[in-house]
A and B are shown apart, each in its own frame.
Chain A
Amino acid sequence: MRRTFRLTTYGYLFPGLFFMGIFTFIPVFMSAYLSLFKWNINNPEPHFTWFSNYIEVFKAPLFWLVLRNNLIYAFTTIPLSMSLALFLAILINQKMGWIRSLYRGSLFYPTMIPMVAAAMLWVWIFNPGLGIFNYYLGFLGFPKIEWLYDMRYALMGIIIMSIWKNFGYYMLIFLAGLQGIPSHYYEAAAIEGATGWKQFRYITFPMLAPATLFVFIVAIISSFQVFDQVFVMTQGGPGDRTNVLVFYIYQHAFRFWDLGMGSTLTTLFILGLLVAIWLVFRVIGRRVYYEV
């Protein structure tokens, strides 16, 4: 089809672009611009300082700790929740009648709960002495852990909670992918003598690639945007061991009122996220049959 230049076409796009421009893109460019300024309580009038904010960010040990925390969060929640989701999706995809919807519902419902409410609930569950988490772990022979109190385990507490909250959604996406695989593939494979693991390796897994890619992207985005749970459960503590990128940005922008620094971190954050997603598409996306 020929490329056209008709006003009506752009008219259709306009409402979406209008709101996007005002509430997403202009702010992003504003951040990039402001990141070149010193602008905080000590410097109430912004003044231009080239890239000194960026240098300051990279020199701050806390920034690297925050980045590390966020990477730990990403590298644990993503594989754990994805493999749990895939595993359960395969189980739930078996023929089992009415009871399936019961399982499905109880595995998926955490997605429907507001993060704030879920976080509140888990603070209560994690309470070292009175919470049910430690109580039942005790039965399994685990030592008492002061989950959210303890520097070594606080991030793990947030990770556990986030997996609980998110894997159900991923599971549904996988389930949709599984149901899209024509059953005659398996029948053919069975005739050839391929069973169990081989079926999974050569049929299920490749056919699930689009779903996997989607879940992966969503998981990356959400693992870098993690905020609400940290805000409610730990406020980044103890000792900044649960401080993550968005929380760190929030601290600079709305707590310290260091607007220059906040903008710098925001810009870095957006760049980093885009690069990560681009990499995923480059490395994995190409091998995936995915009609865009």
Chain B
Amino acid sequence: MRKVILILTVFFFIAGLISASETWAQKEKGKPKLLRLTFYYPVGVAGPLARVIGEMTDKFNKENEGRVEVVPVYSGDYDPTMQKVQTAIMAGNPPDIFMVEISELPTLLAMNAVLPLDDYIKKVEKGYWEDFFAPFRENAVIGGKIYGVPFQRSTPVLYWNKEAFKATGLDPEKPPKTWDELKDYATKLTVKDKQWGVTISGGWNDWLFEAFVRQNGSFLISPDGLKANFDSKEAIEALDFWVELKHRLKVGPPHSTWGSTPPDFVGGRTAMLYHSTGILTFLKRSAKFDFGVTFMPQKKTFGAAVGGANLMIAKKIPKERQEAAWKYIEWMSNVKNTAEWSVASGYVAVRNSAYDDPVMKEHMSKNPEYLVARDQLKFANGKMMAKNFQKVREILKRQLDDSAAGNIVPAEAMKIAQKEIQAVIK
């Protein structure tokens, strides 16, 4: 008998442990009346940006004290954030507000997880939506409905090391303007085992590749996200240009990772670097040498696919929470806050009028290199997006990597990509 009692005690101990933590968890969650919203967000570039988001949100919470409180949850890079958002949605527990990589929108729609924002946007001051740069708006709209508000947005740019240019006898103030020049300069700048001519960064090389295809006058996936176009002549040419640089001429590393190439640039391992505009702040802080930022060189045209993340609201939450969530999004995307965010982060300010903001103006006059990404927007398009985008990326990256290693010829690689991706996006 005593044994049984002892065992039961053990159980109650364990059960008590669980239930105690459960009520504790509930207590954490539900102070009545006050609407407490969770906001999942990524930070895709270097820097203490989580703190900036926290501070901005604190300000919002103070203004709405007692009614709405937004709890920002930093959830890692773009991929982990998407993963956390999806996990939460699958578990029926979506974050009220979330910011995910722009190409994921069709996937989230397939999961029936995103609220259309048209009704809310109609109620805001006139010209609000049109004030966002056009290429940024593209990835927020599907089937005529608006699902997201641009916030943390970027484009890829080309960085060049002026000292390396000088050392090679190139004019340090004249970065390459065309693919041919790029190839030429990269060849001159390459010092075997010491310095690459140009690094086209890995990790998000799918994004950079799309830019090259754009520069060659084509696209990879139709805007409605249904038709793959990977085996076009233009795409194959673009890939062949990569293979030329990375494999045949060996003026750039065939592969690399997104995080390790900025230090490579700072360490003088590469004279030119294709990367997001988002690393500009990091480069300015760390580089001992003078460097420049410019448009990515053109083939038929200058071109880029925009990148970054939009603010969205979950569909399956109560109306009042959605309204509160919108309040937050509207506040975060007002002119003053978009300007403040841009200055703090190095991301492109998403609204035209943000560049008239006095704080922004002062920042830009001191640091004109931050304007390059904005000016490049004239030539930029929306990023490709489709259902199952995570898988699309994996398939494409695999072919890009294999081509760069010389394992497969570009035409063949793009044919495989076309076939596999079309099957995935249906």
Contact = CB atoms under 8 A, between A and B. Distances in A.
Interface of A: 7-8, 11-12, 14-15, 40-42, 44, 62, 123, 127-130, 143-144, 146, 148-152, 154, 234-235, 237-241, 251, 254-258
B269 A15 contact: no
Contacts of B259: 123
B397 A150 contact: no
Nearest to B79: A255
Contacts of B4: 7-8, 11
Contacts, number: 112
Contacts of A143: 193
A129 B267 contact: yes
A8 B7 CA distance: 8
Contact of B269 (A11, A129, A234): A129
Nearest to A252: B391
B202 A238 contact: yes
Interface string B140-181: 000000000000000000000000000000000000000000
A239 B401 contact: yes
B21 to A, nearest CB: 15
B83 A254 contact: yes
Given A8-B7, A41-B107, 13 more contacts: A8-B3, A14-B11, A41-B387, A44-B112, A149-B254, A151-B407, A152-B405, A235-B203, A237-B203, A239-B405, A240-B401, A257-B111, A258-B391
B405 A127 contact: no
Contact of B202 (A123, A130, A149, A256): A149
Given A15-B11, A41-B387, A149-B253, A254 B263 contact: no
A130 to B, nearest CB: 5
A241 B255 CA distance: 12
B269 A254 contact: no
A144 B254 contact: no
Interface in B239-260: 253-257, 259-260
A131 to B, nearest CB: 10
A144 B11 CA distance: 60
A164 B7 CA distance: 44
A146 B254 CA distance: 10
B426 A237 contact: no
Contacts of A151: 254-255, 401-402, 405, 407
Contacts of B394: 240, 251, 255
A146 B269 CA distance: 12
Nearest to B406: A151
Nearest to B112: A44
Given A42-B110, A237-B397, A127 B260 contact: yes
A44 B254 contact: no
6 contacts: A7-B4, A128-B269, A130-B269, A148-B257, A150-B255, A151-B405
B10 A257 contact: no
B253 A256 contact: no
Contacts of A150: 254-255
Contacts of B398: 62, 239-240
B352 interface: no
Interface in B188-215: 193, 202-203
B86 to A, nearest CB: 6
B110 A15 contact: no
A255 B388 CA distance: 9
